[in-house]
Chain A
Amino acid sequence: MSSTATTLEHAAPPQSGPRSLIQRLRHGDEVAHLLTLIFAALILLLTSMLVYELWVNSHLSRSKFGMMFFFTRVWDPVFGDFGALPFIYGTLVTSVVALMIAVPLGLAAAIFLSELAPRRISDTISFLIDLLAAVPSVIYGLLGIFIVVPLMRTEIGPHLIKWFGHVPYLSVLFKPPNYGVGFFTAGIVLAIMVVPFIISVSREVLLTVPREQREAALALGATRWESTWKVVVPWARTGILGSIFLALARALGETMAVTMVIGNDPKISMSLFASGHTIAAVIANEFTEANGDLYLSALIELGLVLFLMTFILNGLARILIVATERGGGQPA
């Protein structure tokens, strides 16, 4: 084939120096290379445009509020005063609550799946848990409204208030009133949504830990649990941390399930039972009615902030996970 190509080249009118574009295009491989490259570059173009649009359309808000945007608690469309603090607060609080539930639960389940369960069962259960990740956000919201919210209002909330209502530092977290919607409910729903990611990735990194590590610990007299907790898990801790970042990035951007159960109130409150708002939820609620360019610009600036937060987290997550897979873990 290559000889034919060279013959073609030699048969073409003599051109000094490198082959002309036309001649190179005759060569099928070059065409394919160029074509696929164009599509690949299209992705680059799309992503750049996305960032550009976010940046440009948030200009009004950025120039008017500057850095104060991140520290202002007020969200007042009537007087044109916008601040991101309540939404950043809500986004972080719900995500932290979600992680506090999902990490222990997910890590425990991942340990079971990688260390204890026979391979077949582990694979089947893992498969089922992956299906949880496929459930659309709006369906989590549907279940949240009709199951979690009433449960929070009638069972979970009152019990928590009873137990922690008088404990010194914790009571401020569990202050009534408890309406059923709020930070805690949103956190619970988010926890269920992100736990499959923690389990899936943690299980995989735990499986890559070399057998010798476990066996060495057991040979030294450790119990199964001690070998797992003190040797295997630390070995995989970078990857596990990566899975947590991944889950966090996912939680930050969740929109529908959160807006259906958080109360949509741009307020900052220490109580987990209070209603709040998140960046994604406020954009979903107010985008189509933001009249006034400043209002819309403020919402888009929030979108930009969200984008940056998830960008950084996803980047960190990738680095951590790849690091574990490539270089192996850390010795205990």
Chain B
Amino acid sequence: MMKKTLLVVSLLVGLAAAAGAQSNPVLLNAAGATFPYPIYSKWFDVYHQQHPNIQINYQSIGSGGGIRQLQAGTVDFGASDGPMTDEQLSQSKVKVLHFPTVLGAVVPTYNIEGVKSELNFTQKALAGIFMGTITKWNDPAIAGPNPGVNLPNSDIVVVHRSDGSGTSYIWTDFLSKASDDWKSKVGKGTSVNWPVGLGGKGNEGVSGLVKQTPGALGYIELIYAVQNNISYGKVQNAAGKFVKADLAGVTAAAAADANNIPEDFRVSITNASGAAVYPISSFTWLLIPTQIPDAAKRDAIKGFLLWMLKDGQNYNEGLSYAKLPKPVVERELKAISQIQ
């Protein structure tokens, strides 16, 4: 009985090991942002099918996690929508490059019983809601720009991220530009001291909470709202127009500052100027170390980056992410050579 069990178990383990082994498999581990997780998981799946011996295991644990695990050296590369700070970069043993991958939008999503229409949110309204000064849905700050919508007199359930998040970074970056009060009291970061609200883990967790909680208002990446049929509103941009997040609005945001994108690609494009701009847009980056000792891994990463910048971009729009601007792609292609 013992022998049989041992035999069966060892057979299973052997099968598992065999199932995993392929000719010279290159196993890459990556972790980070949940913001681009839908497109990344698509990319890594497609790439694996084109190169069966390359496996890129990406764990969506949040941008904070991506930065941290990259610094700890437990992953081969990271991903974040909040660029690494100067301090974090200086703490890194190896120089880290930021490679923009897609352009995305963070949208305010809500679940209000009986309200199916798109709401218009002013910048002050969003800041007030997240500060906790605006607590009811029918507050004038929200009702004002939405005439004709029957907003209930119920509480707003604010939902934010409970984990270290690049999406939070983008959101708080925008709120800091929208409200000086927010900027001084809370500030921007991947993890902040939220004045109010429930915490969800990852874009997935926030979407889940908003979807299940009547009265909820959260911020998530556009594709999560689309894929899960959760209403999302228009946001007023710097030019005063209410814009709904879409590819055009995000592309306009990137184009607005196209000439000012720095050498290392770390740039904030929230609240960009222009009538068609969606104000809560952002790049998201892959964090690649410049020195990768393992040759097979290095070649795999470089190969993937090349593919991502050319073929990979064709998948963006299908998942509601905007393509990278051409000049940025050109510069990134050159930057790949920095990876030794």
Contact = CB atoms under 8 A, between A and B. Distances in A.
Interface string A288-314: 111100000000000000000000000
Contacts of B214: 153
Contacts of B191: 77-78, 286, 289
A285 B201 contact: yes
Contacts of A291: 64, 67-68, 71, 88, 164
Interface residues of B, number: 35
A130 B163 CA distance: 35
Contact of A176 (B71, B88, B155, B194): B155
A261 to B, nearest CB: 11
Interface string B121-162: 000000000000000000000000000000000010100001
Contact of A288 (B65, B192, B212): B65
Contacts of B194: 265
Contacts, number: 83
A177 B137 CA distance: 13
A76 B192 contact: yes
Interface in A61-85: 74-79
15 contacts: A74-B193, A76-B193, A77-B192, A153-B214, A179-B213, A180-B212, A263-B198, A265-B194, A265-B199, A285-B163, A286-B191, A288-B65, A288-B68, A289-B64, A289-B66
B93 to A, nearest CB: 14
A150 interface: yes
B84 to A, nearest CB: 9
Given A75-B193, A275-B198, A288-B69, A264 B162 contact: yes
A181 interface: yes
Nearest to B201: A285
Nearest to B63: A289
> Which of A76, A149, A259: most chain B CB closer than 10 A?
A76
Contact of A179 (B163, B192, B198): B198
Interface string B201-233: 100000001001111100000000000000000
Nearest to B61: A288
A263 B62 CA distance: 18
A77 B164 contact: yes
Given A289-B62, A291-B64, A291-B88, A78 B193 contact: yes
A291 B164 CA distance: 9
Nearest to B202: A285
A295 to B, nearest CB: 8
Contacts of B201: 259, 264, 285
Given A77-B191, A78-B189, A177-B155, A264 B164 contact: no
A180 B208 CA distance: 13
Nearest to B70: A291
B220 to A, nearest CB: 16
A264 B187 contact: no
Contacts of B38: none
B95 to A, nearest CB: 17
B16 to A, nearest CB: 22
